[in-house]
Every structure is written in structure tokens, then in C-alpha cells.
Structure 1
Amino acid sequence: MNKLTNQYKSISKMGFFYIAGIMLWIKSYLTYVFEFNLDIQNVMQEFLLFINPISSVLIFLGFALFAKGKRAGIWIIVLDFLMSFLLYANVVYYRSAADYITLPTLTQTDNFGSLGGSILNLMAWHDLFYALDLIVLIGLYFWNRNNWSNSRMGFRKPMLVIAIGVMTFCVNLGLAEVDRPELLTRTFDRNYIVKYLGSYNFAIYDAIQTAQSSRQRVLADSSDITVVENYTTNKYAAPNKELFGAAKGKNIIKIHLESFQSFLIDYKLHGEEVTPFINSLVHNEKKNFTYFDNFFHQVAQGKTADAELIMDTSLYPLPQGAAFVTKGNNTYQALPAILGQKQNYTSAVFHGDNKSFWNRDEVYKHFGVDKFFHAKYYDMNKENVINYGLKDKPFFKQSIPMLKSLDKPFYAHMMTLTHHHPYLIDEDEASIKPANTGDPSVDRYFQTARYLDESLKQFFKDLKEAGLYKDSVIMIYGDHYGISENHKPAMKQITGEKITDFKHTQLQRVPFMIKIPGVDGKGTVHEYSSQVDVMPTMLHLLGIKANNYIMFGTDMFSKKHDEYVVFRDGDFVTPEYTKASGKFYDNDTGELIKEPTKEMKELEKKVLHELELSDNVLYGDLLRFYEPSESWKQVDTSEFSYLKKEK
């Protein structure tokens, strides 16, 4: 009788497998629905979202069935844990970046130390849900293992399970191709892969793409850069004759406004201007600055590192990972090196964080950056540090002596940090109350923006006292969005509008303003432009022809400037219409354009081609084959060292 009772209560190894598979399947599906914004638009997409975890579950857990005896149960638990860990890691990453982890991002381990506080802030108590099935499985294993045979299961069952998994994937992919043709060959958006094929299959797709990109460098040759050169030569916009060389010989101070979006400008919270000083620069009565109010960021997974890449090389970021990490040893013809070789500029980066963050201590050498003032150069005591690193006020204050020490003319890049997710600030330094949307990240966003504004005001005062303001080009820009699409309900309260795909794209404006000594500012300029346009603009202001180098942007002051803004996922913006999440919208009305014109479709193809060419440059390291028409010496990285010499 006891024997019969135990048999009745026990679960077979296959039963254990089915329970594990069903729980992992349902957990994955619920994660897709509640954690990721996958923009499900029809019944087919909803069905594919529901079934796409099945193939991965059957195939990966199916391999555990080959294990002998009770080990099969252990391997099921181990594989379930690994898949659950990948799923949860994507959840946490998505909450911050509205994106998915790729192999290149996993190589960025030097960044993890600085990200610790931010990651903890992204976790919630209900995340215990992601471990619930593992707890159940472990309990079931110990309850049933003594009733399992010690022999190995026949090969037929495991092979059948895996075969069903493969067939399920083929059906899944076939249906996905019906709804989204050329899904795996033409898409620039990871969201589509996850929506149609799932996060586990995306990880495999990403691994294949990463391997292919490595192979691309090996197979590349000098003919590949000729194709790119022909394209960028045809795109070149001649300089504005009145401004060409207007800034030659002047110092350049480039100020990076971390996570600063343009909607902050003139925004009032609780009846107060959030950024009164920056507003005063935009509306400057002395007509010093030119402000571009339709300037957009173009970053991808590399965020700030991508912004640095784009603005100093006029290349687009990679679709996966950060070029600073995965292509940090490439040959570059970056703005610091060009200015150093052509006009004897001293280049320097100022950043109150560890020098290895985003692999900067290596990639800056390839950019030709002469000096890198990192955390070792600053007083990083606990009163001065919050979140990612040095607070902006002590950062700017401590940077003044280092700025004064540079040989002139110099190109100085000042990188702020405090206005970064999760937007932490000490109570005694918060001079404006938080918003009250109920979303902590959005609510605090305005407090750190005010702190950044106050920091910048003090920095301008210190520059003037140090005699560095009057004769310097001052460039101010926002590097990337601060509030991702995961915060749409809160942003609806802030903007007073529903955050549609169109509206979210419009919110990707970041500030860009510039003061040129001896040149009257143009006030607010409404031309559409982006980060990729900054390098050719700066070269022309310094009297250096941009068509001597490979660049995908065009001079923002040129009468021939191209007014379309390319985003990494293949979407884009023009003055008349916007392509957002694969659909076209009218800029004036925000309404969907159901039948895109021939012009729109042609620009769509051009944008994808442009991204492909830029990718080829980075993946193939093609600039190693390119020699500008004017004298150019490839950067010798051995000439640079960013170790602080102790006194």
C-alpha cells in the first residue's frame, strides 16, 4: 500500500521536465507582456509572443534529458536557472535602457562597478517572481528523485523533444516572416526580434551577429572603403563662406549635459523654471549663442559612449553593444587627432569617473586625445561623490586649474555626471521640489537637472574669472535621453500629452548650442540636425575641409545641410514627417500616414543604406585603409598615457 501511495505521489522525470518547461514558458510570456514594451499590433503578433518561448524551452531543457539518472533533474534545474537569469538580466537592463542585453554589452565588465547603485534601484520586491519556479523545481526534485531510475533515458524521447522544439521554431519563424518580411536580414531594431522570436532566440541571433562582425574585419579590404568614400563625398555639404575658419585658433570647450532632453528648456515645475541659466543662454540677449532647437541624439546601447563616438567621428553607433568597447582598437580619424595634426591643438577630456569606464582609457588613444583627467585627478571624497561619480559642482570647480594648464589652443571635453539615472541628489543640494507623477525616476529628474543648471552657471563665472571664456568656442550639447519609453504614464503627466511612438520620437531632441568668439549668434535655428553633424560643422568653423575625411554628417551652418536625422533602429525624422517604430507620421498633426509617398520610401532605403555603410566602417575597421587627400598620419597609440604621475 505504501509503495502504491509513493508511486501515486511521485512525478516521473518526463513529468518533471514538463512542469519545468511549462513554468518557464509562462514566466517568459508574462515577462514579455508586463516588462517589455513590444508594441503588439495584431492577433498574429500576440500569438507569436505567446508561443515563441516554447522552442527555446524544449530545445535547451531537452538536452538535460540526455543526462544519466537523477542528473537529468539537476541539469533541468541548472538550465532553467541559466535561462531565468538571462530573462531577469534583460528585465533589469530594459528598465534602465529600454533595450536588451547583447554579447558586446556583456564584455563591458569594467562598467559594472559604477553601475551598482543604479542596478539596485532598478530591482523590486516582486522580482521574486523570477525565482518562484526554481524554488518549486528544487522542492519537486528532492521530493521525487529517490523514485527515479538511475539508468539513462533512451535517446528517442530527448531527440523527439528537441525535434519538436526545432519544428516549433521553424513554424514560429515562418509566421514571423509573414507578418514582418526579412525579419532577420533587414531589421535594425532588437525589439522586433524579441517580439517575434523571444529573448532566448534573440541571444542566439546576437551571438551569430557578433561572430559575423568579427569575421567582417578579417575579410575586409581597401575596396570596401571606396564604396563608403563615394557615398560620403556625394553627401558632402560645402561650408558657409561667412563662417568657414571663423573659429580658427580659438580654444574649444565642449560641455556635455548628461541625460538632458530639450523639453527641460523653459519647462516650469511648481511655477519655477527648472533650468533658468540654460534658458538664459537659449534666449540670450547679448546674441552670443546659436541654439538648434531641432537637434536630436542618435545613441544606441552605448549611450554616452555612443554620443562621444558620433560627435568626434561622424559615424553612427553600432546596432549592438558600444563601439568604444567592441571596436575600441579600431583605426579612427577623430576630431582630437585631426585638430592636433592640422592646427596643433591640445585635446583633453575631463570626467569625474574611473578612466576605464566604457574603455575610455584605450579608445581615447585611438582618437588622439592628449590628456585624460579622470577620477585620479579629482578629490573623490564621499561628500563630493554621488551615484556614478563626482558631483557636477566640484567637478567644474576642480577642473578650472587643469583647464588653465593646457597648452593653447585646446579642445576640452567636459563630461558631467550628476544628472544621470537614477537621478540621486542630497536633500540639502536639491533647490527644487521633485515632480509628483509617482514615478521616482521622472520625479527626481528635474532636481538633478536644476543642480546641473546651477553647476553650469558657476562654471561660466569661473571661466570668465580665469580668462578662458571670452576667447573660447563654447559648445553645449545633450548626450542622450534621460527618460526612456518605459515611463510613458509619468511623461504624459509632465507633457500633458499621450506619449505615442510619434511623440516619444519627438522627445529625443537634446540641446545643442554654440558660441563663437567674434561672431554674432543666430538666436534659435530651426533646421533639423543631429550629433553626426557636429564634427563636419566644427571642422568648417576651424577652416578644415570636412570632405577630406569619412563622415556621415553635414555642416549644420551649410546651405546644403541635409535635414534628415537618422536613428540607430532605422527610424528617422525630417522637418515634414517622422518614421517611428516603422510607421510614418505627419509632423504637423502627429497623425499616421497610411500610404507613404515614393519620397518617403526612397529616404527609408537611403537611411538603411547609410547605417549599413557606417556599420561596415566599424565592423571592418575600414579606416585603416583610408588616406585623406591632405597629409595625415595614423595615430600612434604608444604616444599616449593616461596614468597620473604622482608628485
Structure 2
Amino acid sequence: MQREASKPFYTTPFFVFTILMIFKIYLSWFVIFGASVEALPLVTAIFSIWVLFCLIERFSDKRKMVCYMIVNIVLTSIYFAAIMYYKYYGVIVTYRALQQANQVTQVKGSVFHLMHPYFLLIYVDIVVMLLLQAFSRKFRTWGRAKARYRTWISLGFIVSLVFSFGAVWFNRDIVNEVKQAQHMGILNYEVYTIASDLFKGSDKPVQVTPEMVKALKGENALDPTQPAQFKGLAKGRNVIVIQLEAFQDILIGKSIDGIELTPNMNKLAKENVYFKNFFQQAGQGNTSDAEYLLNTSLFVPPNGAAAQTYVDKALPSLPKLFKTEGYDAVTFHTNDVEFWNRKELYAALGFDRHYDKTFFKDEDFLFFGASDPVLYRKTAEEMGRLQKEGTKFYANVISMSSHHPFDLPEERRLIKLPDKYQGTFVNDYITAENYADHALGQFIEELKANGVWDNSLIVIYGDHMGMPVYSLTDHEKDLLKEYLGREYNYQDMLNIPLIISVPGKLEARTYSHVGGQIDLLPTIANLMDLSLKNQVVFGQDILNNRNDLLPERYYLPSGSFITNKAIFVPGKGYEDGETYPLPEGEEPQGGPNETTKDEYDRALQLIKLCDDYVKTLPERY
């Protein structure tokens, strides 16, 4: 047989597979980091691939093509996963996301929606080569290693390893995970996250006190010389917290060609207390993370969903506070309680019982369970029963019919938007939220009819964004620009509504200062006169405090935060970060729409302090 060593280098597997991987690097780079390509990070990405290819060339002979195929499939799948994950979350996927693997089958519609056909081009070469591997002996024996190349291969391995290690070492202090992956190279970043978890230090957590949190929140966050307004205004009432699936604030008060999009939420916003600059802080767990934030006033974990990461802890929570007042703490959700490990989450939070699929059955099934109209009808009936029995309750109601990808059956679409919206994700989103709003209106009428509404404190808010800016087409962005009168960006994506109603007690008012989901617990506690003495909370009562510092985690990179002025997203650090002014923010005294290095440092410290605090909590079992 003719020795392949005499053939030109460009005919070798090493060269051919390198060219293929460069194509895949470019594809993932274009989707994640934008159209412009920087030379150094791209070169770094190639060197990380050569580390593996050199190992194949050095140690494999008869099984060389099998090894190349396996490595190709693994690397391709990493790049593909990075693309898909970024399209929804806006972050770089890591091995930690494997915790979500058992949830994927239930949200496969969302996955397919995010998948553009050209993404699948990343697998074309693999399909062709699998066929060649099966039917071509020449392909199977292609490029078997010869001794004369091994010195060069060993040298190439060392050089590639040094470059890859250098890329990790010199970029390890970048706070923004997306920038970190961009400058390390995606593969190096994946290895770095594994190594950092394996070799992370075991520093003793700081013992956290409420005073430490207040100091970091800012000297104007709380004024102890002034009595809290609205304290105990709803004392003795039932408490109903309605969490709306994927509901963004950009829908409130809006019409398209005379079509009012969310008439019931619009009416609620006009007749009650409405916060128009309220922001989501949920992370990987999405809806379940929002439940965690509401009930603990603690930030979501750095990795994974709170329902999977923190449920072994004895969590201080709203349900436990209410139980000291003799309340039943209950939660209503039409999906299986095992989804997102909610059964363990609810136990850790101290709920007395949950109403899930076993209660709602599959009546009027939509997406994952019974529809919102069924959720609300049966929930209203149960609340009416509890009230008649003299049971005071704290209830979380989790809606679900307006779930990504928002592809409602035609018979449930209650409005028809203009032709230019048809066939777009924006149309599907607005139509689904209109359906959810209609169901919410029915719920309110049922609660008013059975006497529960007037005897309750009602809190309504969105759990997380519905339209990721990362996955919208240019046409959809143009539609939103026309709809909003400005570019759709982080300020709109993360902005969710908050409405608070104490019928007969709390006057209607619209607030423009900033708040976040972490603020719900202390705000409710003040209205219900629940004591938070000695309890560590990372939020604040936003009915009394106008200045807030809201660190973001996951949907924005680490180091991001929100103030009354703007949203800040770091680059490599603070100095090259970007500021996104709030379109309708409340301008504090003495400053333009900008953020400060001090706020950046304090936001990072708050997150770290919360992580330390949760570590020090006792085990639940």
C-alpha cells in the first residue's frame, strides 16, 4: 500500500478536520458574538481543537478515523448547544446545564422554535462522514499516522496546549461570562468551568447580618428615622400572589391598530398600585426561580435552578412567616409538581400543600396541563371554600398557558393583529398574552363574586421575559421598534409588571422607581405587618424605598445591575461595560443616566454575600 506520508498536508485528516471545525467556530461566533470576528480569540479556538487532534495523530493508528469522528461529533454538539442555549438565555452553556436535561422533553416546542435551519449545517459533514465510514474502506484507512510525523505532532500538541492555557489564564478574571468565553474560546471556556468547579477553594462563608446587606444596598435604601408607610395596611387579609407566565411590561397600556392587547392588566394598573420599572431576576430555573425569589428574597444560585440547588437548605421564607400568623400556605400550578423539582422546593419553602396536575387533571389541556381558565376557575372555588371555613391563606397562583413558544391553537386566539405581524414570533407572543389576560380577567371576576377579592391583598407580576432579544429576527425587531418607538433591548426584555391591590385600602398610583422580584417578600411583609427582625433579606420594601440596586444573574452576565437610572452590563470589567438608560426611569437627584464603579462593586458584593448566606443555612433534613 502506498504510504500516505508522501501526500500533501492539505489531504490529511488533520488539515481537513481543522477546516471543518473553523467553519463551525465561525458559525457559533456569528450567532453568539456577532458578525465581526476578532483574530486572537478565533486563533485561540483553533489551538484548543488542535490539542485534541494532536493527541489523535500521536496515539491513534488503525482507529484514527473513528477517533476523529467521535471528537468531531462531541465538539460539534458543544458548539450546537452553545448556539441553542444562547438564543434563549443569552449566556454560554456549560456542563452545569445538564441538570436541565430531564426538562427538555417537556419544552421541546421551545427548543424547535429557537432552531434556525442553517444551524443544522453544523452537522452536515458528520452525516456525510458516517456514510463514508460505513461504506468506504479507503475512508476508514485514511491518514493513518506514520512515525516521521510524530515529532512535529508532539511539538504541535505542546504549542497548542500552551496557547490554550494562556487564553484561560489571562482571561480568567473577566466577570462577564460571555466575554470570558469569547476571549478564551468556547472550548477552553467549557474546560475552565469544569476545572474551576473541581478546584474551587473552600473559603469559609461570611456570617451575614441584615446590617451588612443594608450597607451594600446603599445609605439611602432605608431611613430608620421615618416610620414605614402602609405598615399593616392589609393585616389579617388573605394574600394571593399571581405569577403570570412570560408577561412583559411592554404590553401594559398598549394597542395595535385600535386593538387593546391586555385590557384586564391595563385596568388593574390604572385602579391599583402599579410599578412600571419592575424587573425579573430569575435565572436558569425561570418560573421556579421566580417562585424562589418571591418567597425568600434571596438571589438565585450562580449555577443551576434554585429548585435543584438550594432545596436541601432550611430556607427562611414567606410561607414560614405566614404560618407563624396561623395562615395556610398553598400553591396552585397545573403541571406535575415534579417538574423543575417543585415538590422539594415547596417543602423547603414551607408550603403546607400544593395543588398540581392531580388536582386540575388534564381538563382543557394546553401545552403542559390544564389551561389558565381551568386553573383560575378551580383555584377560585378552592379559595372560596377556604374562606368560608374561616381559613386564612397565603396562596401562590402560577399561570402557564402563555408559555414559550406561544403557539396557541387557532381557536384560542382572541385577537387578530395586522398582516405584517402574521407568521412572526411577536404575533404569537402578543396573542398568547392576550389569551392569558382574558383568563386573568375571568379569575378576578370569580374572586369578586365569591367575596375573596375584597378580603385579600393581591399581588400580580410577571415571572420572566417572553421575547429574548437574542432570538428575534430583524423583521421582528423592526416590528417591536415600531411598536415601542425605540429599539427593543435589555430594558424592555427584563421589564415585567408589578401590580399591588388592597381593595378599599390602597389608593391607585403608578411608581417609576426601580424594583425587582427580590423585593416582593419585604414589600408584602410590610403590608401584612410580618416581622423581619433579624431575618436576612436581600430585597427592600419598594413602597417605602425609592432607591434600589438590583444585581442581575444569568439572563445578563455577572456584574450586571439595574438602578433607577439604567441597566449596566460589564465588558471585561466595569471600564468597558455598556449602560442602557431606562426609557421611563426615575431620575435621582444630581446625576445623568449613568452608573458608577461603586454600584458595580456593591452589586458583585451583594451576590457574593447572598451565596455565602445560603451556604451557612442549616440543612433541611
Aligned to 1:467: 451
1:127 shift after superposition:
3.3
| Aligned 8 A contact 1:13 1:73 in 2 | no
Match 1:194 to one of 181, 202, 206: 181
Distance 2:285 2:315 in 1: 17
Distance 1:31 1:465 in 2: 55
Aligned to 1:479: 463
Question: Is 1:368 the counterpart of 2:355 in the alignment?
Answer: no
Aligned to 2:519: 533
1:456 shift after superposition:
0.4
Aligned to 1:615: 611
Distance 2:141 2:561 in 1: 61
| Aligned 8 A contact 1:423 1:444 in 2 | yes
Aligned to 2:536: 550
Aligned to 2:375: 395
Q: What runs of 5+ residues in structure 2 fail to find an aligned partner?
A: 571-576, 586-590
Distance change (3 Å), C-alpha of 1:514 and 1:146? closer
Aligned to 1:642: none
Distance 1:403 1:102 in 2: 42
Aligned to 1:102: 94
The residue type paired with residue 47 of structure 2 is: S
Aligned to 1:72: 64
Distance change (3 Å), C-alpha of 1:562 and 1:488? farther
Show CA shifts across 1:17-48 (max 9, x none): 22112211221222211x22x2688xxx7223
1:495 shift after superposition:
3.3
Question: Is 1:564 the counterpart of 2:549 in the alignment?
Answer: yes
Aligned to 2:437: 453
1:85 shift after superposition:
1.1
SS of the aligned residue for 1:548 comes to: coil
Aligned to 1:411: 394
Show CA shifts across 1:152-175 (max 9, x none): 89864553332122122245457x
| Aligned 8 A contact 1:532 1:553 in 2 | yes
SS of the aligned residue for 1:283 comes to: helix
Distance 2:347 2:496 in 1: 28
Aligned to 1:85: 77
Distance change (3 Å), C-alpha of 1:53 and 1:500? farther
Aligned to 2:213: 232
SS of the aligned residue for 2:596 comes to: helix
1:319 shift after superposition:
3.3
| Aligned 8 A contact 1:533 1:552 in 2 | yes
The residue type paired with residue 575 of structure 1 is: N
1:89 shift after superposition:
1.9
Question: Is 1:185 the counterpart of 2:179 in the alignment?
Answer: no
| Aligned 8 A contact 2:361 2:369 in 1 | no
SS of the aligned residue for 1:252 comes to: strand
Normalising by structure 2, what TM-score? 0.86
Show CA shifts across 1:353-404 (max 9, x none): 11111111111111101111111211215xx222233321122112233334
Distance 2:178 2:464 in 1: 19
Distance change (3 Å), C-alpha of 1:61 and 1:377? farther
1:587 shift after superposition:
4.8
Aligned to 1:573: 562
Distance 2:595 2:88 in 1: 36
Normalising by structure 1, what TM-score? 0.83
| Aligned 8 A contact 1:48 1:172 in 2 | no
Show CA shifts across 1:254-310 (max 9, x none): 0011111111011112320100111011112xxxx2111111112222222221222
Distance 2:234 2:593 in 1: 41
Question: Is 1:19 the counterpart of 2:16 in the alignment?
Answer: yes
SS of the aligned residue for 1:396 comes to: helix
Q: What runs of 5+ residues in structure 1 fail to find an aligned partner?
A: 178-182, 625-633, 638-647
Distance 1:597 1:268 in 2: 29
Distance 1:587 1:125 in 2: 35
| Aligned 8 A contact 1:40 1:46 in 2 | no
Distance 1:192 1:415 in 2: 35
Aligned to 1:294: 277
1:13 shift after superposition:
12
The residue type paired with residue 341 of structure 2 is: N
Distance 2:473 2:569 in 1: 16
Distance 1:588 1:96 in 2: 24
Aligned to 1:269: 256
1:16 shift after superposition:
0.8
Aligned to 1:144: 139
Match 2:268 to one of 281, 299, 314: 281
Distance change (3 Å), C-alpha of 1:211 and 1:348? farther
Question: Is 1:303 the counterpart of 2:295 in the alignment?
Answer: no
Distance change (3 Å), C-alpha of 1:524 and 1:599? closer
Distance 1:454 1:54 in 2: 53
Note the aligned Cα RMSD (angstroms). Answer: 3.2
State which drifts further: 429-438 or 236-245: 236-245
Distance 1:537 1:368 in 2: 19
1:74 shift after superposition:
0.6
SS of the aligned residue for 1:87 comes to: helix
| Aligned 8 A contact 1:32 1:49 in 2 | no
Distance 1:586 1:12 in 2: 54
State which drifts further: 70-79 or 233-242: 233-242
The residue type paired with residue 467 of structure 2 is: I
| Aligned 8 A contact 1:264 1:275 in 2 | yes
The residue type paired with residue 20 of structure 2 is: M
Question: Is 1:427 the counterpart of 2:410 in the alignment?
Answer: yes
Distance change (3 Å), C-alpha of 1:413 and 1:9? farther
| Aligned 8 A contact 2:288 2:307 in 1 | yes
Show CA shifts across 1:504-557 (max 9, x none): 324421100111244132421222211111111111112123342111111112
Distance change (3 Å), C-alpha of 1:95 and 1:587? closer
Question: Is 1:313 the counterpart of 2:310 in the alignment?
Answer: no
| Aligned 8 A contact 1:294 1:509 in 2 | yes
Distance 1:7 1:55 in 2: 25
| Aligned 8 A contact 1:68 1:151 in 2 | no
Distance change (3 Å), C-alpha of 1:252 and 1:610? same
Question: Is 1:61 the counterpart of 2:41 in the alignment?
Answer: no
The residue type paired with residue 427 of structure 2 is: D
Show CA shifts across 1:384-435 (max 9, x none): 2222333211221122333345472111111011112100211111111246
The residue type paired with residue 184 of structure 1 is: R
Show CA shifts across 1:215-248 (max 9, x none): 65xx546xx224x544125457358544112222
The residue type paired with residue 445 of structure 1 is: Y
Identity among equivalent pairs (%): 24
The residue type paired with residue 178 of structure 2 is: N
1:249 shift after superposition:
1.8
Number of residue pairs the alignment of both structures matches:
590
| Aligned 8 A contact 2:274 2:509 in 1 | yes
Show CA shifts across 1:534-588 (max 9, x none): 1111111121233421111111122x44333332232223233442452235557
The residue type paired with residue 304 of structure 2 is: G
The residue type paired with residue 615 of structure 1 is: D
Distance 1:533 1:433 in 2: 36
SS of the aligned residue for 1:510 comes to: strand
SS of the aligned residue for 2:451 comes to: coil
SS of the aligned residue for 1:412 comes to: strand
State which drifts further: 402-411 or 366-375: 402-411
SS of the aligned residue for 2:50 comes to: helix
Distance 2:321 2:401 in 1: 31
SS of the aligned residue for 1:350 comes to: strand
Aligned to 2:28: 31
| Aligned 8 A contact 2:238 2:394 in 1 | yes
The residue type paired with residue 548 of structure 2 is: E
